[in-house]
Amino acid sequence: MDLKSRNSCFGGTQEVWSHASSATGTDMTFGLFLPSEAKDGPVPVLWYLSGLTCTHENAMTKAGAQAWAAEQGIALVFPDTSPRGAGVPDDAAFDLGQGAGFYLDATEEPWAKNFRMRDYVLNELPALLFGTFALDAERQSITGHSMGGHGALVLAMTAPERFLSVSAFAPICNPTQSEWGQKQFAAYLGEADKKVWMQNDATLLMADRGFDGPMLIDTGTEDQFLDLLMPEALASAIAKRRQQAIFRMQQGYDHSYFFVSTFIEEHIAFHAEALYA
């Protein structure tokens, strides 16, 4: 790995690293916040998955998460949202290609070679992190915003042995029924077998299996992408399943990082309860 930067931050360190990824076939960059407790032994981990057009840097610099993570003694991991580079396939649209990996493993050309973000986040990056830093692999939780909220919910429900709790800010809730999902799934996964799509849809996964742990979801009532996010579909599936969950529509808030930074303290405290139970 190559250390790009290290800054003292709330008694700990905010670091940025890059490494060659076998999952994506590219160099990948991630942010890592280590609280002061990591000097003395392994600490629990909260994964933060970012949204469309973002890199590892957006949440790292805008969410204000480090102060609250330091208070709870929790490490934060900020992966990138897709593979990048001159040889990596891309699209002119902001919601497909680089910056729009959707946290799945693509099976269709030209995306299949590089766009393997599920494998990267679930397998390769954890193996690298837990083999290098003072992190506790038995205490992991996950959160994310927008496309990253979709990723957090899907990964939690399809890899339940990994995460003790899950939360999401304005997640894409029902991508098989939304333009934020149908377009990307058709490109990345193809249209021959839409059963694969179902395994990447939080609403359908909730109806099928749910999550054996606490769940927190916040979406703003003034979110400019509300019709694409479809929170009502996931809320209905949660109610029908009687899933352990807190689902909140926050009055007056939009899709921005002003929204995320307002509620990040509550999300980190929520995860701390599960990570330190």
Distance of alpha carbon 114 from alpha carbon 148, whole angstroms: 18
Distances, alpha carbon 200 to alpha carbons 97, 121, 147, 155, 273, in Å: 17, 15, 11, 9, 27
pLDDT of residue 192: 85
Report the chain's C-alpha Rg in angstroms.
17
Distances, alpha carbon 194 to alpha carbons 185, 186, 199, in Å: 9, 9, 9
Q: Do 66 and 8 meet the contact criterion of CB atoms below 8 Å apart?
A: no
pLDDT in tens, 200-246: 999 999 999 999 999 999 999 999 999 999 999 999 999 999 999 99
Q: Do 10 and 67 meet the contact criterion of CB atoms below 8 Å apart?
A: yes
pLDDT of residue 24: 98
Among 89, 117, 85, 88, residue whose Cα is nearest residue 102: 117
Q: Which residues contact 130 (CB under 8 A, 6 or more apart)?
A: 137
DSSP assignment letter at 258: H
- The amino acid sitting at 274 is A
Give the active site residue among 56, 223, 267, 271. 223
Note if 223 is an active site residue: yes
Distance of alpha carbon 22 from alpha carbon 66, whole angstroms: 29
Q: Do 63 and 261 meet the contact criterion of CB atoms below 8 Å apart?
A: yes
Average pLDDT, the chain: 97
- Paired strand residues for 5: 16
Calculate mean pLDDT across residues 64-81.
Answer: 98
Reading the block at residue 46, the tokens are 């909260």
> Which percentage of the chain shows pLDDT scores above 70?
100
Q: For 236, what's the count of Cα atoms within 13 Å in the CB-facing half-sphere?
A: 8
Distances, alpha carbon 108 to alpha carbons 22, 113, 135, 194, in Å: 18, 9, 35, 13
Q: Which residues contact 52 (CB under 8 A, 6 or more apart)?
A: 81, 94, 95, 99, 100, 146, 147, 180
Give the active site residue among 146, 165, 167, 178. 146
Q: Is the Cα torsion angle 77, 69, 51, 63 positive or negative in sign? A: negative
pLDDT in tens, 155-173: 999 999 999 999 999 999 9
Which ranges constitute the DSSP H helices of 141-208?
A: 147-158, 179-189, 195-198, 202-208
Q: What angle do CA 217, 198, 169 make, to 5 degrees?
A: 15
Domains of the chain are: 2-270 (3.40.50.1820)
**Collapsing DSSP states into helix, strand and coil, what is residue 233?**
helix
Give residue 35's Cα distance to chain centre. Answer: 20
Note if 227 is an active site residue: no
Note if 146 is an active site residue: yes
State the pLDDT confidence band at 193, using cuts at 50, 70 and 90. Answer: confident
pLDDT in tens, 100-134: 999 999 999 999 999 999 999 999 999 999 999 99
Calculate mean pLDDT across residues 249-261.
Answer: 98
First to last CA, the chain: 33
Give the active site residue among 150, 255, 267, 271. 255
pLDDT of residue 137: 98
pLDDT in tens, 10-27: 999 999 999 999 999 999
